[in-house]
Chains A and B, each alone.
Chain A
Amino acid sequence: MSALSVTYVLMFYLATALLVFGLVRKIVQYAQTPAPLKIPTTPAPVTKSGVVLRMASEVVLFNSLFKASKWTWLFGWMFHLALLLAFFRHLRYVISPDSFLWPLVNLEIVQSFGKYAGFAMIIGLLGLFGRRIFVDRVRYISSPSDYLMLLLILGIAVTGMMMSFVAHTDIVHLKEFILGLIYFNWQPVPTDPLLLIHLSLIIVLMIIFPISKLLHAPGVFFSPTRNQVDNPREVRHVAPWAAKLDAESDS
């Protein structure tokens, strides 16, 4: 195998390891940090199933963002939905045809939605980028990393789109390369420059995911203002470190 292929193989393993390790570490941290007080933003659901609904409306529909700013919601939701559709489309590069999932992944609707979602993704990203430049309030709060993050994902989207619509890449060899990674039977990476850029940017994204604001993905599920049940009068809620204070004082 060429040095290039070896490099990509190693980089993918490294990126995957960092992504998984980093995310697990953060999720464990979030789960283990106590929430000593009941702080749901009210009105809040009074039952657990209500909380599941509230969380679903946040994660699926971006309900709070919709209340806040229709433009940001439109661009943000468009981008995330497109990301999901593109993800489904990409499954065919990692699932072997004898898998039970294959018929699903290979559905025409999954493939073409995933393909054209790229346009929505790019429009969404440009919209978000535009807000950062043209709205003085958003410009004020933007760091270089905030622009670079959008450019990085835009780069991934554009190179991906170009391989779909302009210069097709060697999908068969790409799939061999990816399956080779999964089954530890390494195959050469195709040398199409567009593909190599696409893959490199994805490696970068995977590495920075757990050390950047992309932590909003796991973070939203742990947000006490959204995931707590509004029942403080009915159920006494005490964190372990706070319970120690109770033990020290005679009630």
Chain B
Amino acid sequence: MATMAEDGLVIAGRRFGGRLLLGSAGYPNQQVLLDAVQAADPAMVTVAVRRISLAGYAESLVDVLAGRVLLPNTAGCTTVRDAVLTAELGREALGTDWVKLELIGDNETLYPDVEQLLRATEELVGKGFTVLPYCTDDPVVCRKLADAGAAAVMPLGAPIGTGLGVVNPYMIERICVTSAVPVILDAGIGTASDAARAMELGCAGVLLNTAVARARDPVRMAAAMAAAVHAGRDAHLAGRIPVRTQAEPSSPQLGLLGS
């Protein structure tokens, strides 16, 4: 029987202990972030690259998260040029060629611009990056990203920060069945059952941030998310029973008293 240790997440040949990826933005304070990271024990912690400000230059996040695998993102970028430069700056700042590629095409929905996303993926793969693109829940887009060299695809469960969960489970499941690379559900998770659902659908991992950072008790929610991802993965591997519309007794029919 496979143990969880043997069932680790593998992306681009690199093996990770867990299947939860945790964002590091929006926590009440840095200590809560650190406690949440410890509680979740994530495979990777996502970070952003931003202009420095004299006022805000305090203790480096990189230093306080020492020992964790940091995944820089290109959050907020709206052009291929900015996304590629941000990825290069993240590589320089952290010494990693892994990048969560985000290319926003619409400020209301924060939906990815898939045309630019494909071009940026191709360009970054060409520059030696291991690219994990945040994308729409579209199997055609996911296939094209994988063909372009993406190491994983990260379709959204729902728009960023909404907490709506997995709004199109059918399509997420289809992507998981057809994808040649690992599928990480990214964005939309609201609570632990959403993360478990994503894993039950066949996702290789879940990336979330706001659901933990803005929970009433972020540290407890971080632990809940880790447990949910674990449970959802186990349920996926175990194989759920078919859904029935008629009741079926679980106790034996024969030998019933008075029969």
Asked if chains A and B come from one complex, the reply is: no
A-side residues, CB < 8 A to B, are none
B-side residues, CB < 8 A to A, are none
